[in-house]
Amino acid sequence: EEQVLVIREKLAELYESEREWSKAAQMLSGIDLDSGIRMLDDTYKLSKCVQIARLYLEDDDAASAEAFINKASFLVSNSQHEVLNLQYKVCYARILDLKRKFLEAALRYYDISQIEKRQYGDEEIDEEALEQALTAAVTCTILAAAGPQRSRVLATLYKDERCSKLKIYPILQKVYLERILRKPEIDAFAEELKPHQKALLPDNFTVLGRAMIEHNLLSASKLYTNISFEELGTLLGIPPQKAEKIASRMIYEDRMRGSIDQVEAVIHFEDDTEELQQWDQQIFGLCQALNDILDCMSCKGI
Amino acid sequence: MDIEQKQAELIDHFVKKARNLDGAAGAPFLAALVTEATSHPSLFAFSEILSVPSLAELERTSYSSSLEVLRLFAYGTWSEYKSNAGRLPILVPAQVLKLKQLSVLTLAETNKILPYDQLMRELDVSNVRELEDFLINECMYAGIVRGKLDQLRRCFEVQFAAGRDLKHEQLDNMIKTMSNWLSTSDSLLNSIQDKIKWADMMSEEHKKHRKDIEEKVDEMKKSL
Amino acid sequence: DNSLLRQVSSLMRRLPAIESEKFQDDFL
């Protein structure tokens, strides 16, 4: 087994040097890590699992990578090896990203972007890598399903000073402020995306397209008390029936509050707060504005 | 307050610039300043600039129309411009946009519910999509107005609108409104005070009544 | 002070706070 292991590792190295990532991964996955004959330490097992996952990820094979990351997850909690732990985190985030679990991926990327330590053994983490992780976090959040959970993550990212220096900041700002995104902005954002983030879905929308439609629908719900299917379709750039379908799914999934009147062909949007509470909030806003004026007056000695 | 904070620096900048341009030689530059100020995307107030003495001197020059334009942007609307277009210079697109934004603020001064028909007339817009895009992109996202669009009722319900420059004659109305607020608040507070007193009184009576009954019960028990 | 006057003018437009039918029903 020892000799087979050495041969497999050497062959994997050769495949890697020829950029045959999946073949290298397959070669390494043939190593019996649970052999009863030889005792392999957990760090070695973890390093092999992570290495195999990383190789599969080079070919965007999330399913195969996930199998090995899942194995690694049993070993990582007891691991003191900082480099491996970090590599595991990055792999996990990328797998979630590839599987389009964007919100979870965003949280993991964000976690990685916040590491304080820069030196891990011989490896140095540069600022650019952290910036890439932060950008990935923002991208995944924007692509995630619009709703309250995404809003919370958006708030965290928007309030993080580091995000204001990213190229992607303008679109983050618009998404956080729940503003409607127009085609030029969406096209500019699309240029920075990876292929799986622009892939076609069974309903004939792309991943990006659906995310943008849902975001714009939610933005419209903040601007309108009600809107006809037709106008909504025009606003979103899709046929009215599709607009209705997406709206109904979002309402059903509790990601947007409202009701649909199919007879009048109108969507009624509801606020999260009741009318009387909104009234209360308006009065509160008025009192705050009044206080601001009084403060302004006293500053000016009036 | 946000709008005022954002434009305070701009107002200062233009006022300082205007103060340094006086006399006949300064007139063309003042006219250019007026165009720049009335085209600026973040400036919605012009009375400070208007009150700079050098601007008033434009009246007696061939650039008096610039002063008219500044007054229009301070107090007027797009409809007023159209009625006087013959006497006024042609506005650049940025100025047209600004004047239409200011017209929305003027409409919001008198009504909270703005019908689409009225808005389309005032803003020279031919369809609902164009109107809503204008209200969303140029008014709500610009932060000068907050509200909700109602397609069923074809109206825009205003929740907040930034204040425009005020003419002297508008002050009386403002004072009257605030006096009404004061007197309504006073009577409401008095009313609440009375209700509190009444509630306390009823509570005392209730306690006394309860005590009386308990005493009678005890007496009855003793006599039995 | 023009800035203050503008703020006061904006403040005054804030009432009535809401005028929708639904609010009137709830308020009643």
Could you read off the pLDDT of B61-120 as tens digits, one per residue? 888 899 999 999 999 999 999 999 898 999 999 999 999 999 999 999 989 999 999 999
Q: Which chains touch B (3+ CB pairs under 8 A)? A: A, C
For residue A81, the model assigns a pLDDT of: 83
- Mean pLDDT is highest, among A77-91, B182-196, C13-27, for B182-196
Q: Between B1, B129, B149, which is nearest A223 by CB?
A: B149
For residue B5, the model assigns a pLDDT of: 85
d(CA A83, CA B31): 66
Residues 6 or more apart whose Cβ sits within 8 Å of residue A231: B128, B129, B132, B151
Asked if residues B154 and B116 have their Cβ atoms less than 8 Å apart, the reply is yes
d(CA B73, CA B164): 9
pLDDT reading at B1 higher than 60: no
Residues B118-123: contacts with CB under 8 Å, at least 24 apart: B119/B156, B122/B77, B122/B78, B122/B79, B123/B78
Asked if residues A253 and A147 have their Cβ atoms less than 8 Å apart, the reply is yes
Neighbour count for residue A197 (Cβ, 10 Å): 21
Cβ–Cβ below 8 Å for A292 and C15: no
Task: Select from A85, A89, A87 the least CA-distant residue to A107.
Answer: A89
For residue A139, the model assigns a pLDDT of: 96
Q: In chain B, which residues have their Cβ closer than 8 Å to the Cβ of C14?
A: 159-160
Least confident of A122-131, A141-150, A260-269: A122-131
User: Residues A14, A19, A21, A26: is their CA dihedral positive or negative?
Assistant: negative
Across A26-36, average pLDDT:
83
Q: Which helix (H) or strand (E) holds A178?
A: none
For residue B197, the model assigns a pLDDT of: 97
**If you ran DSSP here, which 8-state letter would residue A238 be given?**
S
Asked if residues B73 and B33 have their Cβ atoms less than 8 Å apart, the reply is no
Asked if residues A278 and A240 have their Cβ atoms less than 8 Å apart, the reply is no
Please identify among residues 201-240 of chain A the ones whose CB lies closer than 8 Å to any CB of chain C. Answer: 225
Q: Between C3, C8, C18, which is nearest A275 by CB?
A: C18
Residues B8-15: contacts with CB under 8 Å, at least 24 apart: B8/C3, B10/B40, B10/B42, B10/B43, B11/B43, B11/B45, B11/B48, B11/B49, B11/C3, B14/B43, B14/B48, B14/B49, B15/B48, B15/B49, B15/B52
Chain B closest-CA separation from residue C26 CA (Å): 18
Average pLDDT along chain B: 93
**Which two structure tokens, joined as six digits, stand for B196?**
């509190």
pLDDT reading at B148 higher than 70: yes
How many cross-chain Cβ pairs, A to C, lie less than 8 Å apart?
A: 44
Cβ–Cβ below 8 Å for C7 and A293: yes
For residue A89, the model assigns a pLDDT of: 92
Task: Determine which of C4, C7, C8, C10 to mutate to test the interface with B (most B C-beta atoms within 10 Å).
Answer: C10
Asked if residues B153 and A221 have their Cβ atoms less than 8 Å apart, the reply is no
Enumerate the β-bridge partners of residue B161: B145
d(CA B151, CA A226): 6
pLDDT tens digits, one per residue of A147-161: 889 999 999 999 999
Task: Select from A98, A139, A93 the least CA-distant residue to A112.
Answer: A93
For residue A264, the model assigns a pLDDT of: 92
Q: Which region holds residue A19: left if phi is over 0, alpha if psi is between -120 and 50, else beta?
A: left
For residue B164, the model assigns a pLDDT of: 95
Percent of chain B with pLDDT over 70: 100
d(CA A297, CA A49): 67
Query: Does A290 contact C at CB distance below 8 Å?
Result: yes
Kindly indicate the confidence band of residue A41, based on its pLDDT and cuts at 50, 70 and 90: confident
Task: Select from A33, A30, A34 the least CA-distant residue to A11.
Answer: A30
pLDDT reading at B7 higher than 60: yes
Enumerate the β-bridge partners of residue B150: A226, B155
Residues 6 or more apart whose Cβ sits within 8 Å of residue A21: A15, A55, A56, A58, A59
Across A110-124, average pLDDT:
83
Q: Between A276, A293, A297, which is nearest C27 by CB?
A: A276
Enumerate the β-bridge partners of residue A258: A269
Tokens 């096209």 found at? A187
Across B202-214, average pLDDT:
97
Query: Does C13 contact A at CB distance below 8 Å?
Result: no
Kindly indicate the confidence band of residue A5, based on its pLDDT and cuts at 50, 70 and 90: confident
Residue B71: half-sphere exposure toward Cβ, Cα within 13 Å:
13
Record the pTM.
0.83
Q: Between C6, C16, C19, which is nearest B164 by CB?
A: C6
Chain A closest-CA separation from residue B221 CA (Å): 53
Q: Which helix (H) or strand (E) holds A274?
A: none
Strands A123-124 and A119-120, bridge-based pairing: antiparallel
For residue A40, the model assigns a pLDDT of: 75
Burial of B152 (0-12, 13-18, 19+ CB in 10 A): middle
Asked if residues A103 and A153 have their Cβ atoms less than 8 Å apart, the reply is yes
d(CA B99, CA B115): 19
d(CA B180, CA A54): 72
Across A171-177, average pLDDT:
95
Task: Select from B80, B40, B73, B39 the least CA-distant residue to B55.
Answer: B73
pLDDT tens digits, one per residue of C1-28: 899 999 999 999 888 888 877 788 888 9
Kindly indicate the confidence band of residue A38, based on its pLDDT and cuts at 50, 70 and 90: low
Task: Please name the amino acid found at residue B27.
Answer: A
d(CA B16, CA A198): 52
Cβ–Cβ below 8 Å for A226 and B141: no
Least confident of A33-47, A129-143, A212-226: A33-47
pLDDT reading at B173 higher than 80: yes
Strands A123-124 and A224-228, bridge-based pairing: unpaired
pLDDT reading at A252 higher than 70: yes
User: Residues B140, B144, B146, B148: is their CA dihedral positive or negative?
Assistant: negative
Chain C residue at shortest CA distance from B9: C3
What are the angstrom distances between the C-alpha of A159 and each of A70, A163, A185, B72, B212? Answer: 33, 8, 22, 40, 64
Percent of chain B with pLDDT over 90: 81
For residue A36, the model assigns a pLDDT of: 66
Tokens 């934004």 found at? B101
Query: Does B1 contact C at CB distance below 8 Å?
Result: yes
Kindly indicate the confidence band of residue B134, based on its pLDDT and cuts at 50, 70 and 90: very high
